[in-house]
């Protein structure tokens, strides 16, 4: 431009506009929280400190809570003598750390700032505490409000044990897949994503007055040396640093970031001093961070005992150099005495002024005031573990994992798996020789053959396994025990594992879930061709739980890759899948229920156990398809040898009626093959010509058809001397006595005919009075076979249970399950002379070979709940209409109220609101279900979307024990659920 005046005017205008823009940006910045208000307390404390004590305020020493008493005492002496400003805790436990903090704070003249590295929660350092997802997993979460809530919860955990500073979040941009120290600790490779995720985490913590810390300034994401063991060199241009590495730091500073940690890196473009770490560089700390970026919050060094600095300078010397560089807080000072002496010498030499030291001390004290240390109170020791592992915390953690798990392949939308009856599945744990939480989670949806494939399995064995897996429709593989860091060769994936998985993917439909560092995907051959692929970013019981729920549609997947792995798996890849298909498993907080409100359930069941009403129980409650309570209590027997597990099978007794006979009849009615307004004689030739021929099924199923209540069939098999008649039972199987009734007891092959004939001869009352009867349900298998052409057990398994994945719903479980998984019932001293374990308690069902429509079904609470959920959803489950035509809703209604309160087959509240009734007082009149003689209970409430299962063996060791009825335990537990819902 030739005109100098015009050029000057334009430059001046641009300068003014630029200055105005900067001022506007400054005004938009959120204040640093502890500098927002004046602190008279900080001013007063500063004035009370000697020069040495002021220097000590800038020192943080390392402390471990897993050491012996001599060590603990030595730290106390150090605090008493030098009055250090803070502690950084490392490995140990929360209770021990809290106790040490209480002791040390009482010794300190000024309350100390307590810090910890808890990037993913206290579990990063302390046992018995919670670990939230690694930041790499969080990088793929779309809802950043979840990260804010996580930040708040981690801060609450910190405060609970007296921690005031959490050295998190990591804002390094991990654009180097081989980074040996950051990797999974980063939110990813996109600077915008890193910044927004870090801001949410930071704000959550600082909302709770725990100081956040952005690390590792000016950016440690693209290094190939671990600064714990050496000094990484960053050779980027200033333009690159400004546009990439510094970006998230600037963004967090704009949002009120409380503190920054400076990394140990050599950065020639900023300071070309050989072997000088950024921590010790005045051009980086003072000129760039505090000057150019204008940062006024607390500046911490990275640990000063790390080799990035410690290999070049001894303790004390390195500390003073860090202080002179511009750092406020000296982290991991290893020689307090020398550090104080060296700082005093630097002041005397004019390298730093007392006024500058005081300014930094005042800033530290103002931060302490904001953290609440000006009004420090001892930590309450009672309930620390419970508070740090609350159900509410677990719910937040679960939400984060659910939102992070990422589906990368889903050929033909096979996820979630549907139509279970058409599948033969195999669950393979690759890389481990131990059963996994993943396989356990998958088994909740449907049981399948499980295979463990350790890393050292021989090639020949792998080939045999591949061949045997050909018989399955789908193979679900979990990759386990992978290395977390890039420094582990191929993340622990062996050549044998690679070859096996490659061949399996080529061979058949395979769903692979990788439980480990997401960069490990690049080390697995042929992975892009898997029919289904899920990455969870890490291995924990929770990630395995969530992955299993995604595979079967309990929840949907929504995570996105926060990094590019290779040409097949790129940043932002992620396929959404459907949830709500089957049960999901959640904490009660997901439904707005505080877990504490359900504590009474445990108390109620333990009361029943302590009063010997039952030896144990299994309880499950689901609402709106979400299982929010599932616990096992006590033992199988009063010998207390075998604890009850939620997967144990119970004898369901009369709950069999609604789970077998009624299920089959409703299914047939939905298909137009059965009608409750027709008679027994219409469907059962055996009834024709008898006094039962014209009994209507509507009357039969409401127990007002006049049938006899029950018949003690077994009594006619016994002689006066107590021995069995010769044509009834033998103690060993044979062609004539093939049907097992109990251990070493087999019944004649034709004896069932005698039972059916005896029923047909029994009297029928002409009145329509309510009399609960087993007899029609004993005949139900014959009716179902006449209509369907299939035997009863096959019809139920193929028509219902297999579709539901209700694998444990079975007759005669001794055929399929280990004895220690089946809960025994009564010691039958009168008929069978033994403890009944795996064979049905009911004598009549036993004499029918364990297969009957009134008793005989066994199952665990989870599988029984699936069937009840099918009923609650009027015959539809997992997009399959198994009982058509709104049949269930019709059957569950009262048929002859008010004279007879029962529904068709189902029980209903006899007197709604009655505290001593057959259901909870708060259960609405529309609720329905059934009870079982052995102590079982299944109840559904369509108004509240509830399914409730209570399984016990109250008849152990004798049916004469009626305490469970007297205590009303089953209905009391359900009432507690209603109270929690209405709280």
Write the pLDDT tens digit of every residue in 652-670. Answer: 999 999 999 999 999 999 9
Relative to beta strand 165-166, strand 113-116 is parallel
In this predicted structure, what is the pLDDT of residue 307? 85
Nearest-angstrom CA–CA distance, 856 and 846: 7
Active-site position among 127, 209, 228, 744 = 228
Centre a 10 Å sphere on the Cβ of residue 391 and count the other Cβ atoms it contains: 18
Nearest-angstrom CA–CA distance, 377 and 382: 15
Q: What are the backbone angles phi and psi of residue 217, rounded to the nearest 5°?
A: -65, 135
Q: What are the backbone angles phi and psi of residue 549, rounded to the nearest 5°?
A: -70, -35
Nearest-angstrom CA–CA distance, 939 and 937: 7
Cβ pair 788, 798 in contact under 8 A: no
In this predicted structure, what is the pLDDT of residue 722? 83
DSSP E strands in 24-119: the ranges are 59-63, 86-89, 113-116
In this predicted structure, what is the pLDDT of residue 27? 60
Catalytic: 816?
A: no
Residue (of 35, 36, 25, 30) closest to 256 by Cα position = 30
Residues in the chain where the model's pLDDT stays below 70: 1-27
Relative to beta strand 745-747, strand 729-730 is antiparallel
CA trace torsion 77, 82, 88, 94 (10° rounding): 30
In this predicted structure, what is the pLDDT of residue 23? 41
Catalytic: 395?
A: no
Nearest-angstrom CA–CA distance, 285 and 217: 9
Nearest-angstrom CA–CA distance, 980 and 983: 5
- Which residue(s) pair with 340 in the sheet? none
Active-site position among 222, 226, 302, 828 = 302
Longest dimension (CA), the chain: 130
User: Across the beta sheet with 810-811, what order do the strands follow?
Assistant: 650-651, 857-859, 810-811
Nearest-angstrom CA–CA distance, 785 and 778: 13
């Amino acid at each position: 431009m030739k005109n100098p005046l015009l050029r000057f005017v334009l430059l001046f205008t641009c300068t003014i506009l630029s200055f105005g823009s900067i001022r506007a940006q400054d005004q938009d910045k959120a204040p640093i929280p502890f500098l927002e208000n004046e602190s008279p307390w900080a001013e007063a404390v500063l004035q009370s400190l000697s020069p040495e004590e002021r220097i000590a305020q800038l020192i943080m020493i390392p402390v471990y809570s897993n050491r012996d008493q001599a060590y603990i005492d030595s730290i106390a002496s150090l605090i008493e003598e030098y009055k250090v400003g803070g502690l950084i805790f490392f490995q140990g436990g929360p209770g021990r750390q809290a106790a040490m903090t209480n002791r040390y704070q009482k010794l300190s003249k000024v309350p100390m700032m307590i810090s910890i590295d808890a990037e993913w929660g206290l579990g990063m350092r302390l046992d018995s505490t919670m670990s939230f997802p690694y930041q790499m997993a969080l990088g793929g979460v779309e809802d950043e409000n979840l990260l804010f809530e996580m930040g708040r919860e981690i801060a609450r955990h910190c405060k609970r044990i007296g921690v005031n500073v959490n050295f998190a979040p990591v804002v390094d941009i991990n654009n180097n897949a081989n980074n040996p120290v950051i990797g999974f600790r980063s939110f990813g490779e996109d600077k915008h994503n890193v910044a927004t995720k870090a801001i949410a985490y930071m704000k959550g913590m600082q909302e709770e007055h725990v100081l956040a810390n952005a690390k590792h300034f000016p950016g440690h994401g693209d290094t190939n040396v671990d600064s714990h063991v050496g000094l990484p060199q960053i050779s980027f241009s200033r333009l690159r640093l400004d546009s990439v590495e510094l970006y998230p730091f600037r963004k967090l500073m704009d949002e009120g970031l409380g503190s920054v940690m400076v990394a140990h890196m050599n950065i020639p473009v900023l300071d070309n001093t050989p072997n000088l770490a950024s921590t010790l560089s005045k051009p980086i700390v003072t000129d760039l961070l505090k000057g150019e970026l204008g940062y006024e919050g607390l500046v911490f060094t990275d640990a000063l005992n790390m080799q990035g600095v410690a290999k070049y300078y001894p303790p004390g010397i390195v500390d003073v150099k860090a202080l002179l560089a511009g750092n406020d807080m000296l982290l991991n000072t290893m020689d307090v005495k020398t550090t104080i002496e060296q700082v005093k010498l630097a002041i005397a030499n004019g390298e730093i002024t007392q006024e500058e030291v005081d300014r930094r001390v005042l800033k530290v004290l103002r931060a302490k005031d904001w953290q609440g240390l000006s009004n420090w109170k001892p930590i309450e020791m009672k309930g620390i573990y419970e508070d740090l592992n609350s159900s509410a915390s677990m719910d937040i953690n679960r939400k984060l994992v659910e939102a992070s798990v990422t589906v990368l392949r889903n050929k033909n939308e096979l996820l979630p798996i549907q139509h279970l009856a058409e599948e033969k599945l195999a669950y393979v744990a690759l890389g481990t020789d131990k059963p996994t939480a993943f396989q356990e989670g998958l088994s909740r949806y449907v049981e399948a053959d499980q295979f463990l494939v350790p890393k050292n399995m021989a090639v020949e064995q792998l080939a045999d396994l591949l061949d045997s897996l050909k018989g399955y429709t789908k193979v679900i593989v979990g990759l386990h025990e992978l290395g977390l860091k890039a420094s582990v060769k191929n993340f622990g994936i062996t050549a044998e594992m690679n070859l096996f998985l490659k061949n399996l993917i080529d061979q058949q439909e395979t769903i692979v879930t990788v439980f480990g560092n997401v960069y490990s995907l690049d080390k697995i051959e042929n992975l892009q061709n898997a029919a289904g692929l899920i990455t969870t970013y890490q291995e924990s019981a929770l990630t395995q739980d969530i992955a299993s729920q995604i595979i079967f549609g309990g929840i949907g997947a929504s995570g996105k890759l926060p990094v590019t792995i290779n040409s097949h798996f790129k940043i932002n890849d992620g396929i959404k899948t459907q949830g709500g298909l089957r049960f999901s498993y959640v904490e009660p907080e997901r439904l707005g229920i505080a877990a504490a409100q359900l504590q009474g359930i445990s108390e109620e069941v333990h009361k029943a156990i302590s009063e010997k009403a039952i030896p144990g129980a299994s309880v499950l409650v689901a609402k709106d398809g979400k299982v929010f309570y599932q616990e096992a209590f006590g033992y199988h027997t009063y010998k207390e040898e075998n604890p009850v597990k939620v997967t144990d099978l119970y004898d369901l007794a009369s709950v069999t009626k609604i789970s077998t006979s009624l299920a089959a009849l409703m299914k047939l009615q939905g298909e137009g093959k059965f009608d409750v307004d027709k008679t027994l004689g219409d469907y059962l030739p055996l009834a024709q010509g008898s006094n039962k021929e014209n009994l209507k099924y509507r009357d039969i199923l409401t127990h007002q058809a006049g049938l006899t209540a029950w018949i003690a069939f077994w009594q006619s098999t016994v002689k006066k001397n107590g021995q069995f008649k010769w044509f009834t039972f033998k103690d060993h199987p044979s062609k004539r006595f093939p049907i097992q009734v109990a251990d070493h007891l087999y019944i004649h092959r034709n004896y069932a005919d005698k039972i059916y004939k005896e029923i047909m001869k029994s009297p029928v009352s002409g009145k329509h009075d309510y009399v609960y009867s087993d007899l029609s349900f004993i005949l139900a298998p014959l009716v179902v076979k006449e209509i369907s052409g299939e035997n009863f057990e096959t019809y139920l398994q193929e028509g219902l249970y297999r579709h539901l994945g209700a694998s444990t719903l079975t007759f005669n479980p001794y055929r399929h399950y280990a004895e220690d998984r089946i809960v025994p019932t009564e010691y039958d001293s009168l008929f069978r002379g033994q403890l009944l374990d795996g064979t049905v308690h009911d004598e009549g069902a036993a004499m029918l070979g364990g297969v009957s429509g009134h008793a005989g079904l066994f199952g665990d609470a989870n599988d029984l709940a699936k069937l009840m959920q099918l009923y609650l959803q009027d015959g539809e489950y997992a997009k399959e209409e198994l009982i058509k035509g709104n049949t269930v809703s019709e059957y569950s209604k009262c048929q002859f109220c008010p004279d007879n309160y029962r529904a068709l087959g189902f029980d209903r509240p006899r007197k709604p609101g009655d505290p001593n009734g057959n259901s909870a007082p708060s259960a609405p009149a529309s609720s329905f279900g059934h009870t079982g003689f052995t102590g079982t209970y299944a109840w559904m409430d369509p108004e509240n979307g509830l399914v409730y299962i209570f399984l016990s063996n109250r008849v152990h060791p004798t049916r004469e024990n009626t305490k469970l009825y007297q205590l009303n335990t089953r209905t009391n537990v359900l009432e507690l659920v209603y109270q929690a819902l209405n709280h």
